Amino acid sequence: MTISLNLNGQTHEVDAEPGTPLLWVIRDELKLTGTKFGCGVAACGACTVHLDGEPVRSCQTFIEDIDGAEITTIEKMEEDKVGAAVQKAWLELDVVQCGYCQSGQIMNAVGLLRQNAKPTAEEVDDYMHGNACRCATYQRIRAGVLRASEILEA
Amino acid sequence: MADQLSRRGFLKSAAAAGAALYIGANTKGVMAASNSADAMLNHFVKITGDGRAVALCKHVEFGQGSATGLTTLIAEELGVTMEQIDYEFAPSNPEIYNNLLFGPFQGTGGSTAIANSFTQYRTAGAAAREMLISAAAKTWGVDAGTLDIVEGVITGAGKTAPMGEFVAAAAGMEVPAEPRLRDASEWKIIGNAQTRRLDSPVKVNGQAQFAMDVHLDNQMVVMVRRTPQRGGTVVAFDDSASKVVKGFIMAQALPTGHGVAVYAENTWAAMQARNALEVEWDLSAAETRSSGEIKDEILAALNTEPTYNVNKADRAAVKTTVDGAATVLEKTFYFPLLAHAPMEPLNCTIEQTAEGDIVLHDGAQMPTGPHMAYQQIFELPAEKIQIKSMLAGGSFGRRATPDADYQVEAGLAFIMTDRSRPVKLVWDREDDIRGGYYRPAAGHKVRVGLDETGAIIGWDHQVAGQSIMKGTAFESFAVHDGVDHSTVEGIADSPYTIPGQALGLTDTEKATSVLWWRSVGHTHTAYVMEVMMDLAAKTSGKDAVEYRLGYLTGEGDAARKAGVLKLAAEKAGWGSAPAGHAKGIAVHKSFGSYVATVVEVSGNTDDGIVVEKVTAAVDCGIALNPDTVTAQAEGAIGYGIGHAMRDQITLDGGAVEQSNFPDYEPLRISDIKVIETHIVPSAEAPTGIGEPGTPPSAPALANAIAALSADAEYVAELPMSANGVEFA
């Protein structure tokens, strides 16, 4: 099937079988590799992208369900006010280690800050719970979200 | 110099390379310079005419900060800021880019990246500095001793000029045999906690390139259906359902027989086609045991005379002493198989160039492994094989198999084609969890005798488990008199002075392929040592810190271990806890470094334990990049505690039961509320930091849980959640 995919502000006509996860269209067809494959079962969050502004797991988002939707990936976050703040906080605190999960962490953190500009540490933990980091950078992820909240407030 | 290079068999080139200075090493370890483009094969540092410096990193960057660390060493000695220097990954060359602690072998492991490079990389940077200064001194007619490079500018004798202006001249200068290394008092970047990671920017904007991100023109994606039980082989397969998948290309049994490779146009097609494959296996020689049987075998071995008397003690005498002690403490411990589960599933991409070279794109932890394996597989000389090292999405040991398992698998998948299309081998998470390289299962039985005052008078310690090193290329390196040191490290070499200690070891049969897993043997030995010390202190009515200090009275090792113990206790407010909270402590030396950890918990084992806070003290010698040291401590603590809480790999009839994160649940952000790390100031040479935070973390948690109430117990089998401890 052919679908019209609006990704990072550009429209792409994509030919793929129904049931194809959005993740593989983004990575293998459109060659945007910032969105990562970690588990394939929505248990790690490495593949998180925004669907009409909301974080979703792209490994469990199927192309037949998203015709016409606006998809945003990590590659576009520099142009997003909240995204840029989160990236700035991540750099200030050197959140990353191996970095493989961090695109997903950042995409999810942006989702949180859009709906809750001043989260508590507990609210950060609740919202970010599904994003795994095997390097266990969680202390800095939590601090990074709180710092991004400060940056946005300033 | 050119002669030295040609003797090494490297190609020389007459092509002009522009003004550039390369500093490298030749066969004898002497620094060498060249302005030939081909000398790029052998350098640690490159300086171009525009004044930019580039550090060539011989170690993999998988999160531990080696790229920033190695670059720091070059920048400091050269005299540039971290903004004036870039890094690249070195090519595969076991003689030039070897780990100096591994012999002629390029690889990262054992928390040695900085320890083995500290002098080497500083020397490379210092040589470059002295050559640039010599060139400037000659031009200016001044004494080189009056000049220095500061922030990329050659300064002194009333003169100043960007170092880039002297690159061409410096390339013709003699290489100093022993360049002066800057004194610690001159350091501006080493030890500076403000230094940021060089790889952060690309890791926050999606631009970082991991091996998984390789897309070569016309590449095929290969996934493999592997034997469900170790030792199984393919009899036949039916790919009729795979053929229905759009993008399926072909399926072929691997020549090793351990699996069937499925080739497809893209990753999703490969996954579907591989999953649709029907395979008939010959399991007659395959592992059929279940975890219960493996555990029984290990525990039974603990109750027989050990195969190896590790410390040559008179065990009979030790047993007699323990039996006659005023108090005898006895505990049997069991540790399950564990998977590494790095975030980036295993993968690599292989291609053949027009010249017939084989190129591997890989987050290579031990490039020499696949480099040697490919010489056999492709029947090519070493120089016809290139390994392009890329960022790796974690490893924890998994990317460093002695048999280069996944790279060999990719090589075999590639050699079965006409090699016209690159092959990208991809594992998914299920492959990773079931892929057969695990922290070996281990058992310990310890009997400790205490006198009337609570002092230790005898310690009979028996270990049984599956040897990591035996049967691998590393056996001669790590196995002595039959003892695989990696099974007993942390006991055999403990800085504690324990009177009357006997240490025995029995190897049990491997049920799976086993492998080093972040901190290797220390993952279980630290747990046992520190729980037993805690139990002895508690039984004696002594403070857990004071009791341990009584066995750390010597200089050197013992003093440094005592130092972190005292620092962690002080910073954690040891001796008191909020109502309903309890604290546990543990301290351990591993990979040359000392870490003490205090874990504060609340709750109870029935309704759920909460890890409120972890306080760590670290002595890793000079903290090259202090913030990286802190980050590694945080990560290593999380890795240790997360697996101790709830992870295990179990076998049912030889097959792994777990498959993905839902049943091999990673540590999550809410599992540890706070981690605080304190670094001991030190002038000692840097030692490891990637692993040493892991060993004391789990026993500190066990000791905290045991301190929650009078009837609370020390958890002796892991994971805790499968052995009577609930976590909130």
Q: Tell me what pLDDT residue B52 has.
A: 86
Q: Tell me what pLDDT residue B177 has.
A: 79
Q: Least CA distance to A99: which residue of chain B?
A: B203
Q: CA B634, B635, B636, B642: dihedral to nearest 10 degrees?
A: 110
Q: Tell me what pLDDT residue B5 has.
A: 30
Cα gap B302→A78, rounded to integer Å: 58
Q: Tell me what pLDDT residue A38 has.
A: 98
Cis peptide before B719, with omega less than 30 degrees from 0? yes
Region for B240 from its dihedrals, namely left if φ exceeds 0, alpha if ψ lies in -120 to 50, beta otherwise: alpha
Q: Least CA distance to B426: which residue of chain A?
A: A37
Q: Tell me what pLDDT residue B34 has.
A: 52
Asked if A80 is an interface residue toward chain B (Cβ–Cβ < 8 A), one would say no
Q: Which two tokens stand for residue B513?
A: 């392929």
Q: Tell me what pLDDT residue B342 has.
A: 98
Complete DSSP assignment for A14-59: EE--TT-BHHHIIIIIS--TTS--S-SSSSS-TTEEEETTEEEEGG
Helices (H) and strands (E) in chain B, counts: 19, 32
Q: Which of A24, A40, A125 sits opposite B670 (nearest CB)?
A: A125
Q: Which of A24, A36, A136 sits opposite B638 (nearest CB)?
A: A136
Identity (one letter) of the amino acid at B660? N
Kindly list the structural domains of chain A, giving each domain's residue range(s) and its CATH number in brackets, ordered by start. 2-75 (3.10.20.30), 77-153 (1.10.150.120)
Asked if A99 is an interface residue toward chain B (Cβ–Cβ < 8 A), one would say yes
Cα gap B248→B270, rounded to integer Å: 7
> Are B33 and B41 within 8 A, CB to CB?
no
Cα gap A89→A140, rounded to integer Å: 10
Min Cα–Cα distance to chain A from B214, Å: 9
Contact B393 A36 (CB under 8 A): yes
Integer Rg of chain B from CA: 27
Cα gap B435→B544, rounded to integer Å: 41
Cα gap B614→B572, rounded to integer Å: 8
Specify the DSSP element, H or E, that contains B66. helix B66-78
Q: Which two tokens stand for residue B308?
A: 């190896």
Min Cα–Cα distance to chain B from A88, Å: 9
> What is the number of residues in chain A?
154
Cα gap B491→B521, rounded to integer Å: 9
Min Cα–Cα distance to chain A from B491, Å: 27
Q: Which of A78, A99, A140 sits opposite B63 (nearest CB)?
A: A99
Q: CA A28, A30, A36, A37: dihedral to nearest 10 degrees?
A: -30
Cα gap B224→B426, rounded to integer Å: 8
Q: Tell me what pLDDT residue B20 has.
A: 56
Cα gap B331→B310, rounded to integer Å: 20
Q: What are phi and psi of B251, to 5 degrees?
A: -135, 140
Q: Least CA distance to B390: which residue of chain A?
A: A98
| Local confidence band at A30 (pLDDT 50, 70, 90 cut-offs) | very high
Kindly list the structural domains of chain B, giving each domain's residue range(s) and its CATH number in brackets, ordered by start. 2-204 (3.30.365.10), 212-284+346-426 (3.30.365.10), 291-338+438-722 (3.30.365.10)
Token pair 């703040």 is found at A85
**ipTM of predicted assembly, 2 dp:** 0.99
> Are B188 and B179 within 8 A, CB to CB?
no
Q: Could you say which residues from 24 to 83 on chain B have a Cβ atom under 8 Å away from some Cβ of chain A?
A: 62-65
> Are A24 and A11 within 8 A, CB to CB?
no
Q: What are phi and psi of B478, to 5 degrees?
A: -120, -10
Q: Which of A38, A94, A103 sits opposite B627 (nearest CB)?
A: A94
Cα gap B397→B340, rounded to integer Å: 7
Inter-chain CB pairs, A–B, below 8 Å = 178
Give me the helix-helix angle, B66-78 and B113-140, nearest 10°: 30
Q: Tell me what pLDDT residue B171 has.
A: 77
Asked if B575 is an interface residue toward chain A (Cβ–Cβ < 8 A), one would say no
Asked if B660 is an interface residue toward chain A (Cβ–Cβ < 8 A), one would say yes
> Are B432 and B341 within 8 A, CB to CB?
yes
Contact B637 A36 (CB under 8 A): no
Alpha-helical (H) ranges within B449-514 are 475-478, 485-488
Chunked in runs of 10, what are the mean pLDDT values of chain B (728 residues)? Answer: 29 33 49 40 69 92 98 97 96 92 91 94 92 94 97 96 87 83 98 98 98 98 96 97 98 97 98 98 95 96 97 98 98 98 98 98 96 97 97 98 96 98 98 94 98 98 96 89 97 97 95 93 98 98 98 96 98 97 98 98 96 98 98 98 98 97 98 98 97 98 96 96 96
Asked if B345 is an interface residue toward chain A (Cβ–Cβ < 8 A), one would say yes
Cα gap B591→B586, rounded to integer Å: 17
Nearest to B198 by CA among B24, B391, B399: B391
